[in-house]
Amino acid sequence: MTTEALLVATAVMALVTYLPRVLPLAIFRRKIQNPFLRSFLLYMPYGILAAMIFPAVFFSTNSWISASFGVLISLVLAWFRRGLLTVAIGGTFAVLIAEWILTLI
Amino acid sequence: MSLKSNLTFGRGLKDGVPIALGYLSVSFAFGMSAASKGFPFWSPCLISLTNFTGTGQFVGVDLIAAKAGLFELAFTLLIINLRYLLMSLSLSQRLAPNVGLGKRLLIAFGNTDEIFAVAMQQEGLLPFRYMGGLIISSFSGWVFGTAIGAGASNLMPAAICSALGIAVYAMFIAIIVPPARKHQPVLRIVLIAITLSSVFFFVPPFHSLSSGWSIIICGAIASAYGAYFYPLRDDDNLSGESEEGGEQNDN
């Protein structure tokens, strides 16, 4: 890989990442009035995030067993409205513990 | 119009801390994977500085290492990044009216999955100062993690790396569970999206669909269902905060 090729590839990547982020923000300056479209856009984060988490989360660690344990603990903490950081750390520790137990078996 | 919200710059910086911590692990893994593929130290750092996206960077580095052409690189990443079209459109509806074009161009750079999700959780219109704080602390974690990962790839024990893989997902769970618990329509949308996405993942005919397409299709179908059957009024908000009085009154 030459330096020049890497720089060009990086620029291409940056461009196709920035374009979809910037176009709607630059173009849609006014509030959308259509109730369906408005509701769609307000619901959208939850639909997208849910689809991003499942089932990918079960493959985010060394084994689906430890990942499932992490998901369980995260769900419980989130149910009781713990903050983002608490849930993230809790989930991570749950995986660590599960993987440690798995090595003992 | 005055915008006296509590969404200050400092609050943005603070809300960005959990994102930054989640990012440290992901970007560390990114830097490490790039270094192990033979990329020089500066290259993953520059990619993180100019791209600021998770999946796209991992896939991009894979493609470059596999000597893929520029067109293939651009096309694949564009598909992965299509979800940002919807996210930015959604965010455009929540920015305060006094956020001008120049500021929107800056905010757009920082509209990652996590920043978007945290911003959309807030009540009311989003001022530039809050978005700025949120983006600055998250972006620092992203770049810093990349540099450490690329520079000292074997410092972190494998077990911790594996466990940290779940951190970002756990954060997403923390974002969607409280509103899903409180609003029946959100719960349904979440369940539909999960079902569809699992079908796309596990059922063979759909399996060839890239994850970028899958996420955008599942998310869009589920949200369209919600918008059709449970249209929101202008003053509805979907925060997961419990009503005054907290837990006891809630059930």
From first CA to last CA, the distance across chain A in angstroms is 45
Please give the DSSP secondary-structure letter assigned to residue B177. Answer: H
Asked if B95 and B5 count as a contact pair (C-beta separation under 8 A), the reply is no
Q: Is residue A11 part of a domain?
A: no
Residues B90-134 pLDDT 10s? 999 999 988 999 999 999 999 998 999 899 888 889 999 999 999
Q: Which residue of A has its CA nearest to B164?
A: A92
Whole-number pLDDT of residue B48? 97
pLDDT bracket for residue B2 (50, 70, 90): very low
For residues B53 and B61, give the distance between their C-alpha atoms in angstroms, rounded to a whole number: 12
Q: Can you give the pLDDT at residue B244?
A: 40
DSSP classification of residue B209: S
Looking at residue B26, its pLDDT comes to: 82
> Hey, which residues 4-33 in chain A have their CB within 8 Å of chain B?
6-29, 31-32
What pLDDT shows up at residue B185?
95
Residue whose entry in the numeric block shows the structure tokens 């293939």? B72
Measured between CA atoms, the residue of chain A closest to residue B202 is A55
Whether A13 is in a domain gets the answer no
Q: What is the DSSP letter of B203?
A: S
Cβ atoms of A43 and B189 within 8 Å: the answer is yes
Look up residue B145 and give its DSSP letter.
Answer: H
Task: Report the distance separating Cα B123 and Cα B134, nearest Å.
Answer: 15
Question: Do the domain assignments include residue A79?
Answer: yes
Higher pLDDT, A60 or B188: B188
Delimit the domains of chain B by residue range: 9-171, 183-251
3-state secondary structure of A33: coil
Distances in whole angstroms, Cα of residue A26 to Cα of each of B85, B104, B108: 11, 6, 9
pLDDT tens-digit profile of B145-166?
Answer: 999 989 875 566 777 777 777 8
Find out whether B161 and B29 touch, Cβ atoms under 8 Å. yes
Q: How many CA atoms lie within 13 A of B199 on its CB side?
A: 8
Q: pLDDT at position B250, please? A: 33
Higher pLDDT, A93 or A88: A93
A46 and B189 in contact by Cβ < 8 A? yes
- Banded model confidence at residue A23, pLDDT cuts 50, 70, 90: very high
Is residue B249's pLDDT more than 80?
Answer: no
pLDDT (average), residues A51-55: 89
Which chain B residues touch A69 with a CB distance below 8 Å? none
Taking 60 as the threshold, does the pLDDT of residue B251 lie above it? Answer: no
Residues in B touching A11 (Cβ below 8 Å): 50
A105: closest CA of chain B, how far (Å): 16
C-alpha R_g of chain A: 20
Partner B, chain A 79-98, Cβ-Cβ below 8 Å: 79-93, 95-96
Strand partners, B126: B95
One-letter amino acid for residue A36 of the chain = F
Question: How far apart, in whole angstroms, are the C-alpha atoms of residue A34 and residue B240?
Answer: 25
Best residue of A4, A39, A58 to probe chain B, by most B CBs closer than 10 Å: A39
Smallest Cα distance from A104 to chain B, Å: 14
- State how many domains chain A has: 1
Contacts of A16 in chain B (CB under 8 A): 56, 74, 77-78, 81
Average pLDDT score over residue span A51-61: 88
Q: Give me the torsion for CA of B196, B201, B204, B208, rounded to 10°.
A: 110
Nearest CA in chain B to A71: B170
CB contact under 8 A, A31 and B93: yes
Q: Is A24 within a domain? A: no
Q: Which residues have CB under 8 Å from A28's CB, separation 6+?
A: B89, B92, B93
- Quick check: B24 contacting A, CB < 8 Å? no
pLDDT at B243: 47
Residue-wise pLDDT for B200-229, tens only, equals: 988 887 777 777 678 878 988 999 999 999
**Quick check: is A76 in a domain?**
yes
Cis peptide bond prior to A55, omega within 30° of 0: yes
Q: Is A42 on the interface with B (CB under 8 A)?
A: yes
Residue scoring higher pLDDT (A80 or B206): A80
> If 0-12 CB within 10 Å is exposed, 13-18 middle and 19+ buried, where does residue B228 land?
exposed
What is the rounded CA–CA span in Å between residue A5 and residue B68? 12
A interface test, pick of B169, B202, B235 with most A CB neighbours within 10 Å: B169
Subunit contact A54:B194, Cβ cutoff 8 A: yes
Asked if A70 and B212 count as a contact pair (C-beta separation under 8 A), the reply is no
pLDDT, position B242: 59
**Which of A4, A8, A12, A21 to mutate to test binding with chain B, by most B CBs within 10 Å of its CB?**
A21
The amino acid occupying position B52 is: F
In angstroms, how far is CA B151 from the centroid of its own chain? 25
| Residues facing residue B95 across a β-bridge | B126
pLDDT digits (tens, 9 = 90+) for B7-59: 999 999 999 998 898 888 788 878 887 887 889 999 999 999 999 998 889 88
Residue ranges making up the domain that contains A92? 61-105
- For residue A105, is it within any domain? yes
Contact A47 B202 (CB under 8 A): no
The ipTM estimated for the assembled molecules is 0.87
Closest CA to B53 of B89, B93, B82, B75: B82
